[in-house]
Amino acid sequence: MIQRIIISVLVFVCCTTLYAADTVMVKKDPRLDILSLKQLQANQRSAMMTPNGLYKGYRIQLASTPRRGDAFARRSELMSRFPDQKVYVIFQSPNFKVRIGNFLKKEDAEKFKALLNKIYPQGVYIVEDGVEYIPKEEEDIINQ
C-alpha cells in the first residue's frame, strides 16, 4: 500500500513537472521583424509583376489599324496633346495598335479615358497590359 502511494506521488510529481515544462520562451532578434516586413514587400511587388519585368496594369488603346503611317500619325498627335503620358505603338499582326498611359489602377485609366472620350468619341478602350512603373522608395523601416 505504501508502495502504491509513493508511486502515485512520484507519477503526480513527474506529470506536473512535465506539464510545466511545455512552455517555451522564444527570444528573437528584433531585426527579424524588419527582415520579414521587407520580404513581405518584395513578395507583394513581385506578385504585381509580369514575367518580362513590367507591372500588371492598364493602358488605353485609341487605334488599331493595318497602316503603319496612320498609327504613327495618331501617336504624334497624342504626344503633342498629352506630353506627360507615354504613347506606344505595338504591332500585333496584321494591325498596329496605339496605346497611351501607364496606369496601375483601373480607376485611373477610366478617368483618363473619360478625358480622351471628349476628343476621340469612338474607339477608345481600356486594355490590360504590362506597364512601366518605378515604385516610390518606401520609408526607411530600420529607423522606425
Gap between the Cα atoms of 124 and 111, Å rounded:
12
Tell me, rounded to whole angstroms, the distance of Cα 7 from its chain centroid.
64
Quick check: is 94 in a domain?
yes
Gap between the Cα atoms of 103 and 61, Å rounded:
12
Least confident of 10-19, 21-30, 49-58, 60-69: 10-19
Quick check: is 88 in a domain?
yes
Q: 45 CB contacts (<8 Å, ≥6 apart)? A: 135
Give the model's pLDDT for residue 84. 92
- Most confident range (mean pLDDT) of 21-35, 36-50, 107-121 is 107-121
| Rama region for 109: left / alpha / beta (φ>0; ψ in -120 to 50; rest) | alpha
Quick check: is 86 in a domain?
yes
Quick check: is 142 in a domain?
no
Quick check: is 85 in a domain?
yes
Across residues 61-86, what is the average pLDDT? 92
Across residues 105-133, what is the average pLDDT? 89
Give the model's pLDDT for residue 122. 87
Give all strands (DSSP E) within 37-80, no chain letters. 55-65
Gap between the Cα atoms of 18 and 24, Å rounded:
12
Count of beta carbons in the 10 Å neighbourhood of residue 39: 10
User: Domain range holding 84?
Assistant: 55-131
Q: How many domains does the chain have?
A: 1
Mean pLDDT over each residue of the chain, to the nearest integer: 82
The CATH number for 94's domain is 3.30.70.1070
Quick check: is 64 in a domain?
yes
Q: 60 CB contacts (<8 Å, ≥6 apart)? A: 99, 100, 101, 103, 109, 112, 113, 116, 124, 125, 126, 127
Quick check: is 42 in a domain?
no
Quick check: is 40 in a domain?
no
